[in-house]
Structure 1
Amino acid sequence: MFFEQIINGLTLGSTYSLIALGYTMVYGILELINFAHSEIYMIGAFIGLTMVSVYKLPFFVALLISMIGSCILGIIIEKAAYKPLRKANRIAPLISAIGVSIFLQNAVLMIAGPQARAFPSGLNITTLNIGGFRISTLQLLILFVSIILMVGLHFLIQKTKLGQAMRATAQDKEAAQLMGIKIDHVITFTFAIGSALGGAAGVLVGVYFDSVDPMMGFFPGLKGFVAAVLGGIGSIPGAMLGGLILGLVEMVGAVYMSRYKDAIAFAVLIFILLLKPTGLLGRSVQEKV
């Protein structure tokens, strides 16, 4: 039972990590919390559901289309809601982010209705018995896809010129611009990649719980943000680690105190931040004057 909860925690935590990456990437570049990210996650789930249930596409094709659709949505949001406010005081883009979140949530409510919908993935899901504990092929699939996406992001950030431009922009935007880096393109790409990961997480969670609804983004989005803060906001490895830890704490807590599993997760966040305010892998940065 305990080891099964560990697997459940890693499965859920890997989706939190994908959501957290979207938050932490945007914050690392713009020092902005994209509160519309949870709705991108939700819309990604609906895109995947539509591709599978209406157009009868295979699951992996639907996942890819969902990521592309979420990527395009992220670019549109950045261009329409954040770019015009880039030089405004910090409260303006924050309010804009909240407004975009509310708009997207209500738009989907109006189009799809408030009812939850099952996610017919079409996958042949079986349960394996390994060493005395059970694990489903769906859990293995979610872990595999999540790991592939996170490893791919790590390779992109560390081994490509675009990733180098992203790291330079996160470190010092003015210096990066003087070196010929097109800051606007880097910011747009960051939103695009973060949104694609959020859309993938929405599809994976929709399949895992066999349910998609317009309000599904709130708690996973909040927990993805918590995971980003727990790991160290702005740190990509921190977001990955924070999501896995949050998922494990939530699932193990559910074994002993199921009614308070969310409270336990937030209590762990508070405890870690009291010991290390920058998060597990975050670094303190001196503000330039």
Structure 2
Amino acid sequence: MTGPVVVGVDGSPAGTTAAWWAAREGMTRRLPVILVHSWTTQPLNVPVPQEALSKQQYGQSVLRRTEAELLHRYGDLSLTTELVEASASQALLEHSERAALLVLGSRGHGSAASFLLGSISLHVLGLSRCPAVTVRAGDPAIATGWGHPGTERGDVAVGVEPGPGADALLEFAFTTAEAHGCGVHVVRALPYQYAVAAGRHEERDAVERARLAASLAPWREKFPGVPLVDEVTAGPAAQVLLSAATRGRLTVVGRRRHPSHLTWKLGPVAHAVLHHAPCPVAVVPHD
């Protein structure tokens, strides 16, 4: 994985938590981190003639404060800041062409919320050219202050379906797990109606487990040091993946790329995981 880790910050708890996660990820992966603040996306209650200057001053203060906090915790971190005039979404999407990761703050359960005063991060998640990670404000497993590391979590959880898109998700999951010295928990969900229609549960389960094992064989060989748990379970895909994510370090979901930069869509599983997963969620684009 090459390119920087790019994170949007606005001075909110969501942006701060995202910045802490991004800094640790940059150190772990040995990648530079870029803090981005869009001053045009940050309205302030100031007189109109002073508005632009005040917004820029606020943005600079947010960047300086966040930079100081991150460097206090990670003195060797390669860190730069950018105060941009472009909208938050535009700035992040432009970075996604060259970044290894985008990182967005989420306001909490019940909302796949966005960065910078409620601008919709679903737009960024749906169009990013690189993997994009959402981090919940106040996540107890992430450092939230001056040098206080968070509680460690478990494996990287990833849900896969048969098809070419699975490889992009598995590559991201295994690479992340190897960097963090943890394992990968791969789940595949089978519809309940398929289980009933098949009639022979044990035989069906054996066939599906064999198919999943075959698709994972190249990744076992490529990442022999990464512990792997694979699971085939009947049930709604979102529910199965959320169950695996309960004590996960990161949950990985996929999104199809679209040829037009104006067209994007997140599937129902990605929506559900973004809303309800207790850990950071990575949305990985694939063909």
TM-score (norm 2): 0.25
Q: Structure 1 or 2: larger strand share?
A: 2
Determine which structure has greater relative contact order: mean sequence separation of CA pairs < 8 Å that are 6+ residues apart, divided by chain length: 1
Task: Report which of the two structures shows the higher radius of gyration computed on alpha carbons.
Answer: 2
Could you say which structure has the higher helix fraction? 1
